[in-house]
């Protein structure tokens, strides 16, 4: 996040975690759990990469990990090497937008890219200089349930896309068939090729 909004954004994250889930998210009926122990253990290990500034509480027996924000994260740390799929938000501060774009482009293409800015020139810059499966400007995840928009990855984040006609296209095989009659055939296709090559050179 940009250094000018970093502290204010972190304060808002804390505020809305409390507003959405109460002072103790583990007691909220609206807050989920990690799907299984394997993924819980994977996410638990990621909590060690940086300094926890929001959350960080865990309950292994119920597979609970609180909404967590981690600061002082290196772009090269383990938490930045794969999709997290958990309630953990690593924070990397930047000063120049091109530095942030560089960080994105140094990694495998993401499934989604989210960018928040009122500046349309900056929006255009980010979209034109990065590649991702999809994404949102000034929101998150809303592109995924929108059935009229194809959803899928690119490169390591996926192949193909689905939703509506995109699903039909993805799961349909386009078969190419050339149909030829017997009335005409090109002798240039067959050996010996020596005279054919001289003829083709003269034509070209």
pLDDT in tens, 140-166: 999 999 888 999 999 888 888 989 899
Confidence of residue 62 (pLDDT cuts 50, 70, 90): very high
Domain boundary among 37, 60, 93: 93
Q: How far apart are CA 27 and CA 24, in angstroms?
A: 6
Domain range spanning residue 75?
A: 1-93
Residues 85, 137, single domain; the answer is no
Confidence of residue 1 (pLDDT cuts 50, 70, 90): confident
Residues 164, 203, single domain; the answer is yes
Residues 128, 107, single domain; the answer is yes
Confidence of residue 194 (pLDDT cuts 50, 70, 90): confident
Task: Look at the chain and report how many structural domains it folds into.
Answer: 2
Nearest to 134 by CA among 113, 108, 117: 113
Residues 135, 150, single domain; the answer is yes
Q: How far apart are CA 163 and CA 146, in angstroms?
A: 8
Q: What is the CATH number of the domain that holds 69?
A: 3.40.309.10
Pairing of strands 64-65, 58-59: antiparallel
Residues 86, 107, single domain; the answer is no
pTM score, two decimals?
0.78
Residues 83, 126, single domain; the answer is no
Domain boundary among 63, 93, 123: 93
Residues 7, 79, single domain; the answer is yes
Residues 32, 86, single domain; the answer is yes
Pairing of strands 151-152, 161-162: antiparallel
> What three-state secondary structure class fits 118?
coil
Residues 181, 137, single domain; the answer is yes
């Amino acid at each position: 996040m940009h250094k000018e909004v970093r502290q204010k954004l972190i304060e808002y994250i804390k505020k809305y975690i409390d507003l959405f889930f109460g002072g103790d998210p583990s007691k909220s009926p609206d807050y989920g759990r990690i799907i299984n122990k394997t993924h819980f253990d994977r996410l638990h290990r990621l909590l060690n990469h940086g300094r926890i500034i929001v959350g960080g509480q865990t309950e292994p027996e119920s597979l609970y990990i609180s909404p967590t924000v981690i600061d002082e994260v290196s772009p090269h740390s383990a938490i930045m090497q794969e999709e997290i799929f958990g309630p953990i938000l690593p924070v990397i501060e930047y000063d120049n937008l091109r530095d942030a774009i560089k960080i994105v482009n140094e990694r495998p293409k993401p499934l989604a890219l989210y960018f928040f800015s009122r500046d349309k020139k900056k929006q255009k810059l980010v979209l034109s200089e990065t590649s991702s499966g999809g994404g949102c400007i000034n929101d998150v995840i809303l592109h995924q349930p929108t059935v009229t928009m194809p959803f899928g990855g690119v490169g390591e984040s996926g192949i193909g896309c689905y939703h509506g006609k995109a699903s039909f296209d993805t799961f349909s095989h386009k078969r190419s068939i050339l149909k030829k009659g017997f009335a005409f055939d090109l002798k240039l296709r067959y050996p010996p090729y020596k005279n054919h090559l001289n003829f083709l050179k003269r034509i070209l």
